[in-house]
Amino acid sequence: MLVFIAILLSTSQVLAKFRGFKDPIFPQYPNDMKSIPFRLGSMTPYHPPDKTCVAIRCHCTVRHGAKYPKEDVQTEISGLNFIQEYLNARYKDENALNALPKENREAILKIMKWVNKTSSKSAKEINQHGLQTMYKLGSRWNSRLLNIVTSIESEKDIEFNSAIEDRCVLSGQEFLRGFLKIQKGKDSTVIEIPLAKVPKKGDHRIKLDKGKPEVKEPKVKKPDEEEVEIKFFNKVCPQETCYLREKIVKLLFPSDDEWETWRNEITSARIRAMYMACANSYVYDYSNEEEGHAWCHVFDIDDIIMFENMHDYQYYIKNGYNDIKTKNYGHPMMRDILGFLDKKDTEKFKLFASHTSNCLSLITGFRMFEDKDKLSLKNMTEGDKMSNRKWKSSLLGNYACNIMVVVYECENANYEISEEEEVSIFLNETPLEMVFENEITCTQCPIDAVKNLIIQLLKDTPTDEELKEYENLQKGKIVQEKIGETSISESSVKT
Ligand SMILES: *[C@@H]1O[C@H](CO)[C@@H](O)[C@H](O)[C@H]1NC(C)=O
Ligand SMILES: *[C@@H]1O[C@H](CO)[C@@H](O)[C@H](O)[C@H]1NC(C)=O
């Protein structure tokens, strides 16, 4: 990162030599007498487009910005303090540190400089970085959808929905501030951001329908996201034989006398804490970056890819194509989008400030990034680990991920407003290419075609038989989970 910034600075100071402009390509004019006005230069405007479109309404689902880790993760990270304290004491004498091989010295020095910024007070709260991201995202959409922004006359033109958590409400507010360019003391069409509406019971647009527990007696916990991650991690890094343990102990505690003690301290739970310290270091403000990312340096790129796989697998189970239920979690929001497209007199801007699960469930509902092969614990941890998979949830469902559905009104070259509106759907600010029959594709498509596409997607619901099979499978699974529970909690990270 520092090197990158240094390069940027150096290039901005030394101006690149100008080589000239590149000639644009001429538009294609008809090869008949219709081209007279163009060929003889008597047509204005010079390049008349077939049509001119302006955005008039949009529907946005956005995840909150970066948050502080939850309390038990913060506790686990703080649990790494004693390693740092030990290293600080052992290498108080610089000569001792300098005597180490380069690889060990570098990693140890980084851990010694680590600044623990976790504080249990902030658990799961959005942080400054997250708020800024939301504001900037809103600003970028402001410049893209300026026509909508200027057409907003009052708070009534906006519907602001949010998940109940503060980080979502605050994210939505910050997004709106950037989108509407609300600034203190400056004129803007809207002065106040409308109050956030939180989902009522039974509304599954934001709060997904996880369903009732299938088995009532005996009461067993449904496997949650964390258990999926823990299972994955325990498979890759089992307590006694984890390859990472030996590697990290050798890296941080290279002398023979340290081996016995530290081999027992560097448990697989602590290694997971190191991973979380690394991943979460990006949410804190560090004036000196090195102080923050210290724990990333006990891993190499293959280890990081393993954690990425763990993350992706977890979300595949939770909001991906795992089963007939998870893959349709996005349906209520898709029906909402359909309703939004149907009604012309609706709000001009409809916002849903929500969670990763909402971004991913829409992506899954759109049947995007679907692999032919199902992802399983086995093939995500063995062989090539599905490295060519499409499902990369870490890159799709990240902080501030967003799906924006924009409705346009178009005029033809004769300034006549066309009957049919057009629609673009943006995933993380990139317009999606929609594919229709006969290989017709478009990124801004006729509204009826888009509605039809969503209707078709909504029809992909499980048959009664599939439902029955699913339910039986769930019952079986829960019994299995129950049996397997002891092995999960034994190696649980809550040390
Ligand atoms: C650092 O770690 C300790 C636990 O050892 C914790 O109590 C504290 O809140 C952490 N954060 C800061 C900013 O010191
Ligand atoms: C991955 O596992 C799933 C589920 O067991 C299986 O259907 C699929 O064929 C496997 N794919 C590969 C490439 O191993």
Domain-ending residue, one of 282, 308, 334? 308
Is residue 492 included in any domain, yes or no?
A: no
Q: What is the pLDDT of residue 492?
A: 31
Ligand 2 neighbourhood includes 379 CB (under 6 angstroms):
yes
Whole-Å CA distances, 480 to 25, 199, 290, 330: 64, 34, 44, 28
Distance between CA atoms of residues 55 and 187, nearest Å: 22
Distance between CA atoms of residues 37 and 43, nearest Å: 5
Residues 63 and 47 in one domain: yes
Query: Considering only CA atoms, which of 297, 283, 306, 165 is closest in space to residue 229?
Result: 306
Residues 176 and 297 in one domain: no
Residue with tokens 């498509």: 445
H-helix or E-strand spanning residue 81: helix 81-90
Is residue 4 included in any domain, yes or no?
A: no
Residues 367 and 332 in one domain: yes
Residues 333 and 416 in one domain: yes
Distance of CA 8 to the CA centre of its chain: 27
Residues 447 and 399 in one domain: yes
Domain that holds residue 302: 71-123+219-308
CATH number at residue 142: 3.40.50.1240
Query: Considering only CA atoms, which of 279, 305, 271, 299 is closest in space to residue 385?
Result: 305
Count up the domains in the chain and report the number. Answer: 2
Contact 428, 449 (CB under 8 A): no
Q: What is the pLDDT of residue 485?
A: 41
Is residue 490 included in any domain, yes or no?
A: no
299 three-class SS? coil
Euclidean distance between the first and the last CA atom of the chain, given in angstroms as a whole number: 33
Residues 168 and 253 in one domain: no
Ligand 1 neighbourhood includes 456 CB (under 6 angstroms):
no
Residues 88 and 108 in one domain: yes
Residues 59 and 77 in one domain: no
Residues 282 and 394 in one domain: no
Is residue 464 included in any domain, yes or no?
A: no
Contact 423, 444 (CB under 8 A): yes
Give residues with Cβ within 8 angstroms of 83, minimum separation 6: 111, 252, 265
Q: What is the pLDDT of residue 399?
A: 95
Q: What is the pLDDT along the chain (495 residues), one digit of tens a residue?
A: 444 544 444 555 667 888 889 988 887 878 888 888 778 877 665 666 678 899 999 999 999 999 999 998 999 999 999 999 999 999 999 999 999 999 999 999 999 999 888 777 788 999 998 999 999 999 999 999 999 999 998 888 999 999 999 999 999 999 999 999 887 655 555 568 899 999 999 999 999 988 755 455 555 555 555 588 889 999 999 988 899 999 999 999 999 889 888 989 999 999 999 999 999 888 877 777 777 889 999 999 999 999 999 999 999 999 999 999 999 999 999 999 999 999 887 889 999 999 999 999 999 999 999 999 999 999 999 999 999 999 999 899 999 999 999 999 999 877 888 888 999 999 999 999 999 988 899 999 999 999 999 999 999 998 888 888 888 887 766 655 554 443 333 233 222
Ligand 1 neighbourhood includes 81 CB (under 6 angstroms):
yes
* Closest ligand, as measured to the CA of 379: 2
Distance between CA atoms of residues 281 and 69, nearest Å: 10
Query: Considering only CA atoms, which of 267, 233, 276, 319 is closest in space to residue 77?
Result: 276
Is residue 166 included in any domain, yes or no?
A: yes
The amino acid at residue 395 is L
Q: 402-412 and 422-427 as β-strands: parallel, antiparallel, unpaired?
A: antiparallel
* Closest ligand, as measured to the CA of 389: 2
Is residue 483 included in any domain, yes or no?
A: no
Residues 258 and 382 in one domain: no
Is residue 375 included in any domain, yes or no?
A: yes
Whole-Å CA distances, 183 to 143, 146, 161: 16, 16, 22
Distance between CA atoms of residues 380 and 51, nearest Å: 48
Residue nearest to atom 8 of ligand 1 (CA): 119
Q: What is the pLDDT of residue 328?
A: 95
Residues 250 and 223 in one domain: yes
Residues 55 and 83 in one domain: no
Whole-Å CA distances, 301 to 314, 390, 442: 20, 20, 38
DSSP string covering 15-34, please?
A: PPPP--PPPPPPP---SSGG
Ligand 2 neighbourhood includes 373 CB (under 6 angstroms):
yes
Is residue 480 included in any domain, yes or no?
A: no
Among 71, 78, 276, residue to substitute to test ligand 1 (most atoms within 8 Å of Cβ): 78
Residue nearest to atom 9 of ligand 2 (CA): 373
Domain-ending residue, one of 308, 340, 375? 308
Distance between CA atoms of residues 160 and 182, nearest Å: 15
Domain-ending residue, one of 279, 308, 337? 308
